[in-house]
């Protein structure tokens, strides 16, 4: 799906920037926005991100969590302008920022030096664990930070829906004359046990439920599969592929991955779809990236600025 605008969606990822260190005339530095039920989660914030957010109609007031993978400039320099814009727009509600240590000091120094106070509080959450950990949770979503293999402390992020409740068979509910507590129990997948010992199997009361969906952001990183179990079976995986395979040695030296390494990881993890991005500015034509990756993993698309990927609803059988 290549949408021109970020429209209302149930679970949609939009690429705001797909370049590595140096931007190009067609590719901004790394940034993505994930729209789940009209809640917007910003993933990295390279220079110019706020312009991209406006261009693709993300609702700035609905961004309450920002996830920064690491403190290389192409992944967070856009924060200074974005946070200032939030303030100029009169934001009052808190903003949560998740990042490796050091970002709080940088931001406070900048806004203190410029005497540009912010109109809203920021809650800084520092990522320090050497193993995957859950770092955020709301009523419908959980987010895990996954350590990457890069030149400095770096984390990927796994966004997982909480399991949906079952849809109920209204006629069966009426026939069984379920109470409100029993209805809640049935929606949670429980059998109903009456005081007289009668058991009403849950399968007689339900019509099914939507499957929980997962998006994983895996960057910046050299190839590593220590945490592949956390990625296994994801509906959508973004894995950096800064270089073509011919630059494999240089990729390793700089803490990055190649096309074939991203493809191998996706294949091992058994994901449904792979997105590759974070392309080096030395490449003008990205077709070879797609072709190399498809030689191992066919279900792949290029991250392109403005391109959206929607994870459709699926029902349990």
Buried b or exposed e, range 154-180, using 16+ CB within 10 angstroms: bbbbbbbbeebebeebeeeeeebebee
Task: Spell out the residues 6+ positions from residue 170 whose beta carbon is closer than 8 angstroms to its own.
Answer: none
pLDDT the model gives residue 203: 79
- Residues 6+ away with beta carbon under 8 Å from 63: 33, 40, 41, 42, 53, 95
Across 189-198, 251-260, 296-305, least confident range: 189-198
Minimum mean pLDDT among 22-31, 120-129, 181-190: which range?
181-190
Compute the average pLDDT of residues 214-242.
Answer: 97
Q: Which of 44, 74, 220, 235 is catalytic?
A: 74
pLDDT at 37 over 70: yes
Q: If DSSP codes are grouped into helix, strand and coil, which group holds residue 173?
A: helix
Give CA angle at 52 (50, 53), nearest 5°. 65
Q: Which CATH superfamily is domain 11-164+210-310 in?
A: Ribonuclease Z/Hydroxyacylglutathione hydrolase-like (3.60.15.10)
pLDDT digits (tens, 9 = 90+) for 135-183: 999 999 999 999 999 999 999 999 999 876 667 778 878 887 888 888 8
pLDDT tens digit string along 266-310? 999 999 999 999 999 999 999 999 999 999 999 999 999 999 999
**Span 204-213, mean pLDDT?**
79
Mean pLDDT (the chain, rounded): 92
- pTM score of the predicted model: 0.87
Question: What are the start and end residues of each CATH 3.60.15.10 domain in the chain?
Answer: 11-164+210-310
Instruction: Calculate mean pLDDT across residues 207-227.
Output: 91
pLDDT computed for residue 165 by the predictor: 64
Task: State the average pLDDT over residues 94-101.
Answer: 98
Short-list 278, 265, 261, 277, CA closest to 231: 265
**Separation of first and last alpha carbons in the chain:** 26
Q: Is 74 a catalytic residue?
A: yes
Task: Report the pLDDT averaged over residues 224-245.
Answer: 97
């Amino acid at each position: 799906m290549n949408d021109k605008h970020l429209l209302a969606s149930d679970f949609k990822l939009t690429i705001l920037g797909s370049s590595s260190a140096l931007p190009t005339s067609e590719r901004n530095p790394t940034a993505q926005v994930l729209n789940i039920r009209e809640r917007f989660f910003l993933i990295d914030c390279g220079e110019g991100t706020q312009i991209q957010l406006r261009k693709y109609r993300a609702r700035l007031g609905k961004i309450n969590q920002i996830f920064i993978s690491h403190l290389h400039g192409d992944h967070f320099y856009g924060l200074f302008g974005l946070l200032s814009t939030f303030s100029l727009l009169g934001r009052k509600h808190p903003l949560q920022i998740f990042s490796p240590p050091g970002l709080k000091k940088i931001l406070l120094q900048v806004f203190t030096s410029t005497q540009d106070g912010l109109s809203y509080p920021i809650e800084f959450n520092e990522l320090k664990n050497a193993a995957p950990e859950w770092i955020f949770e709301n009523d419908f979503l959980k987010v895990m930070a996954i350590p990457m293999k890069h030149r400095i402390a770096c984390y990927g992020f796994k966004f997982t829906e909480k399991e949906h409740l079952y849809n109920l068979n209204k006629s069966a509910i009426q026939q069984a004359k379920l109470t409100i507590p029993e209805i809640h129990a049935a929606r949670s997948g429980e059998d109903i046990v009456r005081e007289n010992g009668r058991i009403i199997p849950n399968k007689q009361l339900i019509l099914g439920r939507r499957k929980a969906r997962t998006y994983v952001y895996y960057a910046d990183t050299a190839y590593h599969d220590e945490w592949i179990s956390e990625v296994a079976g994801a509906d959508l995986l973004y894995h950096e592929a800064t270089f073509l395979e011919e630059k494999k040695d240089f990729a390793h030296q700089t803490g990055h991955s190649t096309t074939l390494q991203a493809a191998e990881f996706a294949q091992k993890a058994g994901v449904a779809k792979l997105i590759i991005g974070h392309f080096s500015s030395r490449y003008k034509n990205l077709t070879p990236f797609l072709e190399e990756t498809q030689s191992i993993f066919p279900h792949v698309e290029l991250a392109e600025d403005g391109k959206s990927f929607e994870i459709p609803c699926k029902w349990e059988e």
